[in-house]
Amino acid sequence: MHGYSECVSLCPSFNLKIMKQIILTLLFFCGYLPPSFSLQLPDEAGKPSVFDSTMFSNFWTIESDTSTHIRHLHDTLEISAINGVTLWWNQPLQGKVEITYKACVMDEGLPGDRLSDLNCFWMARDKEYPDDIFRRSKWRNGIFGRSYSLTLYYLGYGGNGNTTTRFRKYNGDFQAFSTGNTRPEILKEYTDDAHLLKANHWYSIRIVSNGKRIQYYSDDELIVDFTDEHPYTSGWFGFRTTKSRTRLTDFRIRQL
């Protein structure tokens, strides 16, 4: 019979944190822990959610002014944005990837609730500092117009007060915007109700960057299918919103 130390070394899936979580879970459901105890359940891979309060800063960086507030609701993040905010995934993406997550724009009549702007950036880079998206975070400060200084793909779902859903490719020409208010070309646009936001609805979002083919799915509907002859193949991912209360969960990145 193997001893305890041998078992740990021979069973790579064994993890003391998982064992602790199992014990706490049993105590919780048996009523031995106080109601104030916050139970953080792991995902199916046995790892804490990337939105868990104890793990959050390892995975995410908030770019905004001080008016943005976040709440950790077990495996869900709630962002209350009075002004603009970008929530950056800390590590750059490389090559062919799939990004999936669930998102909900809350509109329950609370102060700050507004049905608008379930947006995101991906394959983002700063032309001046291509290896460090965070170098000019303080300058951008969550101000949407300054994101035109980046090269990236952008999907604005229910933007402009939930009147448009638009897809663009940014070329990083901030001067064209700042001096002439010139914005990147709209490559795909919807204005019908079926492609605008529904309040308190959990959307399943899937983004695929597969070489020249760029796709965005909402609830399994392909709403962007763009062939890019000069694709962006690496860069950072960021959630983006403004003047709204949004919840996010079940975020995953998969290499294709």
Q: What is the CB neighbour count within 10 angstroms for residue 69?
A: 14
Same domain, 1 and 125: no
State how far the Cα of 229 lies from the Cα of 227, in Å rounded to an integer.
6
Euclidean distance between CA atoms 83 and 78, whole angstroms? 15
Structure tokens that stand for 196 in this block: 């605008």
What percentage of the chain carries pLDDT values higher than 90?
78
143 and 250 part of one domain: yes
Total domains present in the chain: 2
- Same domain assignment for residues 23 and 58: no
pLDDT surpasses 70 at 198: yes
| Whole-angstrom distance, CA of residue 154 vs CA of residue 15 | 39
189: Cβ–Cβ under 8 A, 6 or more apart, which residues? 164, 165, 166, 167
Q: For residue 207, what pLDDT is reported?
A: 98
What was the pLDDT predicted at 36? 34
**CATH code where residue 132 lies:** 2.60.120.560
The residue segments making up the domain with residue 90 are 43-255
Instruction: Specify the pLDDT at position 11.
Output: 35
For residue 126, which of 107, 140, 112, 113 has the smallest C-alpha distance? 140
Mean pLDDT value of segment 92-96: 96
According to the model, what pLDDT value does residue 17 have? 45
Res 47: pLDDT: 66
Are 51 and 72 in a shared domain? yes
16 and 129, same domain (yes or no):
no
Instruction: Please tell me the chain's helix, strand, coil percentages from 3-state DSSP, rounded to the nearest 5.
Output: 20, 45, 40
Question: What is the pLDDT at residue 29?
Answer: 43
Confidence (pLDDT) at 46:
55
Residue 70 identity (one-letter amino acid): I
Pairing, β 203-210 against β 213-218 = antiparallel
Question: 202 with 87, same domain?
Answer: yes
Residue 239 contacts residue 223 (beta carbons within 8 Å): no
The residues that bridge with 105 in the sheet, in sequence order, are 246
Please determine, for residue 180, whether its predicted confidence score (pLDDT) is greater than 70: yes
Does residue 136 sit in the same domain as residue 114? yes
Mean pLDDT confidence for 127-148: 96
Average per-residue pLDDT in the chain?
86
99 in the same domain as 226 = yes
Verify that 79 and 121 share a domain, yes or no.
yes
* Same domain as 35, residue 160: no
Same domain, 29 and 66: no
Q: Which residue did the predictor score with more confidence, 55 or 27?
A: 55
**Residue 18 pLDDT greater than 70, yes or no:** no
Residue 26, pLDDT above cutoff 90: no
Residues in the chain: 256
Structure tokens at 135: 């170098």
